[in-house]
Amino acid sequence: MRETIRLAEQWDIPNIIVFSGNRQGLEDRQGAEIAAEGLARLTRTAEDAGVTLIMELLNSKIDHKDYQCDRTAWGIEVCKMVNSPRVRLLYDIYHMQIMEGDIIRTINENHHYFAHYHTAGNPGRHELDENQEIQYPAIMRALLHTGYQGFVGQEFIPLGDPVAGLKQAFDLCNVSLEPELENV
């Protein structure tokens, strides 16, 4: 992992995605302590390199059974334990819609712990279209309101033409701070 951090520094890659691993019967507190201990071993290297380790929030309900970092509060607790500006979370909107919902409020209240975001339509993890329930323009405006200036990863599994799906996702997520006034 230290070599990966050095390579990220060399190539100006700002973030490295890390994972908590599975619960495997651990209580949440014990799992958080183990995750924090592992990340703490890498923080000096990450801090010196200017690279942020971002632990991805995933759902354990459908896609990643038994995954430990499946709730925002758990991930934030790990970040607090490590206490480094170079350990943050990857807030995957699709996964957290499944586990928690209340996406915009969660982003507004906790954005300082989030270093990157992923999208996908729910249900199904497909295109961001009229067949899914997440309101991405409103979520993207919420991100802008927090001051977020990074990338948003489009991580859906296309059912149709992948290029058309990506263009549709880009267009849907390419918003300004204020919603456009239609037919005023």
Residue 176: per-residue pLDDT: 85
Q: Which residues contact 181 (CB under 8 A, 6 or more apart)?
A: none
Cα torsion angle, 85, 86, 87, 88, sign = positive
Fold classification of 2-173 (topology level) = TIM Barrel (3.20.20)
Dist. CA 74–CA 102, nearest whole Å? 16
| 3-state percent breakdown (helix, strand, coil) of the chain, nearest 5 | 45, 15, 40
pLDDT along the chain (184 residues), means of 10: 97 97 94 97 98 98 96 98 98 98 97 98 94 95 95 94 96 81 47
Dist. CA 52–CA 115, nearest whole Å? 8
Return the H-helix or E-strand segment holding 10: helix 2-10
Residue 184: per-residue pLDDT: 45
| Ramachandran sector of residue 25 (left: φ over 0; alpha: ψ -120 to 50; beta: rest) | left
Residue 180: per-residue pLDDT: 55
Dist. CA 139–CA 174, nearest whole Å? 11
- Give this prediction's pTM: 0.93
Q: Which residues contact 33 (CB under 8 A, 6 or more apart)?
A: 81
Where in the chain are the domains? 2-173
Residue 182: per-residue pLDDT: 46
Residue 183: per-residue pLDDT: 46
**32 token code pair:** 């958080």
Per the prediction, the chain carries an average pLDDT of 94
Residue 177: per-residue pLDDT: 77
Residue 31: per-residue pLDDT: 96
Q: Which residues contact 55 (CB under 8 A, 6 or more apart)?
A: 17, 18, 19, 20, 35, 39, 69, 75, 78, 79, 87, 88, 89, 90
